[in-house]
Structure 1
């Protein structure tokens, strides 16, 4: 039994180690580091395009080619309000763009013109612009570097707040329109909280009395005491001698003794 358990433990250990080796990123073997070095400009609606610069470096001697991929994720705004351009020294670099919900991925259609070697870096640049009517929100940018076999080498991420136009005021609800049309109707009490990111706490209700719970508690105690007294009295009756009964005035009388006339 112990031998079987030992063999199973060894097999599991080998499986875990082999899985970790297979799942290790290619960057561990090729010594690649990716870092966002510059984020210049304003992340603001209508402002000049901001610039993002990312650099890949290598510690080992083998030279490799790199393909860049930028993942953009937005919050409280729309991807349609952002324009991103992948730039090289010769101008715009062609990318394949795919979107899914609040996330978009821009992947280079070709490998980067530069070659990544030891003591030699490869740089990618992006420009990010926001429409004039873009609403405020947050944008997360993750830049990933892949090798020629499309294996992930390394990545780096940055998050920036976007300053935009004030969001449009919400249209009035039917109840609000009715309240505005009928000024004599009393408005409902406001609800505490309700700010952005704040919990909504209902306002304390008016009216009612705290005497009802107290009365219920006292009544319950009285019922409990009454039941206790009845049970104790019943217990005493059951423990009394069979020849003794209670008289009309509550005194005990002995009914076993008979008069001489009754005996005759």
Structure 2
């Protein structure tokens, strides 16, 4: 345990957080930058005396529970959380759960792809960001509750739109196979995350096909490079599918583009004009 470095690190992380960041009033007599020690301690569910001793390099080695509370209270990134554990002499365990926070640069990238439909998925296949064309091609994800944005849940458990399973994808069975394999690897990376274990349990109970694929213990799948969506307004749209990994967030950017000069390219152009007006179409 490196007490001096740990103390300096905690102090630097505390001072960068404003009271407003954690829903606390600034108050007229605040003289120090960031949070007060007692506020950080309260957020971490430890005593002010204990936290003060840590910042003064006099504290005992924190337990993993205390380190988890500090990481949460000080809003540490995954890299900062790992650093905190190393300073405390307690090697970090697995991440608490898949990240759902998308970097601003990735959000900007999605907006800069007006001729391509693009989404970002988490390690559990939840759609966590998308551009306008993706919403027009697939679904207006902003209108869906969070659980319905999960593509692997939709592939195996529905609901279906316009009588089509998962947007009428031509390779929906192959997608289901690949997603089950990837989800098994995700479950190994986040063994204690309740959302991951809950999703797996729900799929095992609700889908015999998923249970069969899960029992195979496969964890890799060949990528699908071409997909066809059955769209209720413009008909079939065939696109190239490219997947870019964001390794530090355990996320993926999925980009759909049509061949230049093809009918599908014209369909995407039409969808960029129609937008999500298709959501008003009566479902058959």
- TM-score, scaled relative to structure 1: 0.20
When you count helix as a share of all residues, which structure comes out higher? Answer: 2
Higher strand share: 1
When normalised by structure 2's length, the TM-score is 0.19
Name which one, 1 or 2, has greater alpha-carbon Rg.
1
